[in-house]
Amino acid sequence: MNFDIQIIGGGLAGSEAAWQLAEAGVRVRLSEMRGGGDTTPAHDTDRLAEMVCSNSFRSDDAEHNAVGLLHQEMRDLGSLIMRCADQHRVPAGSALAVDREAFAAEVTLAVERHPNIAVVRERIDALPDHPAIIATGPLTGAGLADAIATETGQDALAFFDAIAPIVHRDSVDMDVAWMAARWDKGGKDYINCPLDKPQYEDFIAALNAGEKMPFKDWEKDTPYFEGCMPIEVMAERGPETLRHGPMKPVGLDNPRTGRWPYAVVQLRQDNALGTLWNMVGFQTKLKHGEQVRIFRSIPGLENAEFARLGGIHRNSFINSPRLLDRELRLKSSPNIRFAGQITGCEGYVESASVGILAARFAAAELRGETMAPPPVETALGALLAHITGGADAETYQPMNVNFGLMPPPEGRARKADRKKAYTDRARIAFAAWLDSQKVAEPA
Ligand SMILES: Cc1cc2nc3c(=O)[nH]c(=O)nc-3n(C[C@H](O)[C@H](O)[C@H](O)COP(=O)(O)OP(=O)(O)OC[C@H]3O[C@@H](n4cnc5c(N)ncnc54)[C@H](O)[C@@H]3O)c2cc1C
C-alpha cells in the first residue's frame, strides 16, 4: 500500500494516531519493531498498545479528576484506546482498569483490520524524510534514538528521567514559607521552606528509613548524573550532605526570624502559569506514599498537594518545549511530529491523547488546513500547551495531566468545589472547540 504518512511505534500513542488518521481517510504505514525480531526490555508480547506495567488508566471521574476529564475528551474524539478500554473494563471502583490482554488484542485487531492502515513489523533506525509521527515511547530503539539525538543535539534527548516532586502553588503555607532568592540576588523567585535543627534531623532520619522503589533489572545501570543524585542517596552519605547540597540555607534570611534557617527546601516555578512549583534537587526513588508522608513534614508543606511525585526511570524523552512547535512538529524538520511519552508526557492515557492530537494536526495539514489546538482550559489543551512551551525547558521532566496545567478558574470557589470548577469550564471550552472542528471538517 502506498502511504501518506508513516507512524513509528505501535504503542498506546502510535496505535491511537494510526486509528485517528485512518478514520480521517489518510493512508498510514505503522512501523512496529516488536514482531519483527526486536523488542524492548519492558514489553512481553507482539501486540499493539501493550500496557507494560499496571492495568489501570487511573481515575475515570470526569468531574473531579484531570485524567478522568482527559478520558472524556478522548472519548468525544472517537479514541480507539478509550473505546477498547471501555469494552474490556474490569471492576476497579472509580478507576478505569482493563483486562490488559483483551484490551491489547482488541486494539491490534482494530488497527490491523483498518483498510487505511498497513502494520509493518520493522525497526526504524533513521529519521524519515517524508511525513511521519515518531511514537516510539520511553524505550525507543537505540538506532532511532541516536538519529534523534543527532538531529536535535545530544542534550535534547534524555535517556533517564530524574523527577523532583511538583507542588500546587496554592497548597503551600506562605505563613511559614517565604519568597526570596539566595543573597537577595535577582528577583524573589523561590519559595523557601525553613527547617530548624530537630526538624532537619528528623527529616534525614525519615529519608534514610523511607521505603524506596527498586530499579528494574534492566535499569540497574541507571547513571546518577551530576546534580541529579536522589536525595535519599545524598542523605545516606552523611547527615550534613543535604545541608551542603539542595537544602543549603546560606544567604536565605527568614524574614520571620531575621536569620538563616538551619536548612531550607526551595521550590522553583515550573510552568509559565505559575501554578506548579518543583522541589529543587529533590529527585527521589522513595515510594510515592512515603514521599507524601515525608515531604509533608517540611514546614510550609504540611498540606502540600502534589501534581507529580518524584521518580527516576529509564525513559527516552525529548526537550519538547524547546524542540517542538504548537502542532507537535519538530521545528528543525517540520514533516516529523512526535507523539506519546517521548514528548515528555507521562502515562498510558496522556500518551494516547498526544497521539490523537499529533494525528489530527497531521490530518489537517495533509488536507491543506490548519487545526486550532484545543483551548488550554481543556485537559488535552493544557497538556499540549505544557509540552510545547508552557513547561520550563531548562528543568523539563515528564508530566502527567493535572489541574495545575490549566489557568486557575476565575472567582473564589470553596476547596471542595474547585475541581468541579475546572471541569465545568473545561467541558464548555471543549464543546466549543469540537464544534469549530466540525465546521472545519469536510461534510
Ligand atoms: C517499566 C515501565 C513501567 C510503566 N508503568 C506504567 C504504568 O503503570 N502506568 C502508566 O500509565 N504508564 C506506565 N509506564 C509508561 C507507559 O509505558 C507509557 O506511558 C506508554 O506506554 C507510552 O506510550 P507510547 O505509545 O508513547 O510508548 P509505548 O507504549 O512504549 O510504545 C512505543 C512502541 O514503539 C516501539 N518502538 C520503539 N522503538 C522503535 C523503533 N526504532 N522502530 C519501530 N518501533 C519502535 C516499541 O516496540 C513500542 O511498541 C511505564 C513505562 C515503563 C518503561
Q: In this predicted model, what pLDDT tens digit does every residue of 309-353 receive, in sequence order? A: 999 888 999 999 999 999 999 999 999 999 999 999 999 999 999
In this structure, of 79-93, 226-240, 271-285, 289-303, the range with the lowest mean pLDDT score is 226-240
* pLDDT tens digits, 176-202: 999 999 998 888 999 999 999 999 999
Q: Residues 405, 385: contact at Cβ < 8 Å? A: yes
pLDDT band, very low/low/confident/very high, at 214 (cuts 50, 70, 90): confident
Please name the residues in contact with 257: beta carbons below 8 A apart, sequence gap of 6 or more. Answer: 194
Under the banding of pLDDT at 50, 70 and 90, the label for residue 224 is: low
Instruction: Give, using CA atoms, the residue closest to atom 45 of ligand 1.
Output: 9
Please give the share of the chain, as a percent, with pLDDT higher than 70.
97
Of how many residues is the chain composed? 443
pLDDT at 42: 92
Is the CB of 398 inside a 6 Å radius of any atom of ligand 1? Answer: no
User: Using one digit for the tens of pLDDT, what is the confidence trace for 25-58?
Assistant: 999 999 999 999 999 999 999 999 999 989 999 9
Q: What is the mean pLDDT of residues 236-240?
A: 94
Contacts of 121 (CB under 8 A, 6+ apart): 32, 33, 34, 35, 36, 46
How far is 405 from 427, CA to CA, in rounded Å? 16
Predicted confidence band at 422 (pLDDT cuts at 50, 70, 90)? very high
Q: How confident is the model at residue 437 (pLDDT cuts 50, 70, 90)?
A: confident
Confidence band of 137 (pLDDT split at 50, 70, 90): very high
Is the Cβ atom of 16 under 6 angstroms away from ligand 1?
no
**Which of the listed residues 53, 222, 309, 337 should we mutate to test ligand 1's pocket, taking the one with most ligand atoms within 8 A of CB?**
53
Q: Which DSSP symbol is given to 404?
A: G
Mean pLDDT of the chain: 94
Instruction: Give the pLDDT band of residue 257 (cuts 50, 70, 90).
Output: very high
Does the C-beta of 128 come closer than 6 Å to ligand 1?
no
**68 Cβ closer than 6 Å to some ligand 1 atom:** no
pLDDT at 279 over 70: yes
For ligand 1, whether the C-beta of 13 sits within 6 Å is yes
pLDDT at 374 exceeding the cut of 80: yes
Assigned C-alpha cell, 216? 528494574
**Averaged pLDDT for residues 78-96:** 95
**How many angstroms is it from 377 CA to the middle of ligand 1?**
27
User: Which residues, 6+ apart, have CB-to-CB distance to 276 below 8 Å?
Assistant: 166, 167, 168, 169, 269, 270, 307, 402, 404, 405
pTM of the model: 0.92
How many A from CA of 433 to the centre of ligand 1? 30
Q: Which atom of ligand 1 is nearest to the CA of 124?
A: 42
Pocket lining: 6 vs ligand 1, CB cutoff 6 Å: no
Mean pLDDT of 247-275: 95
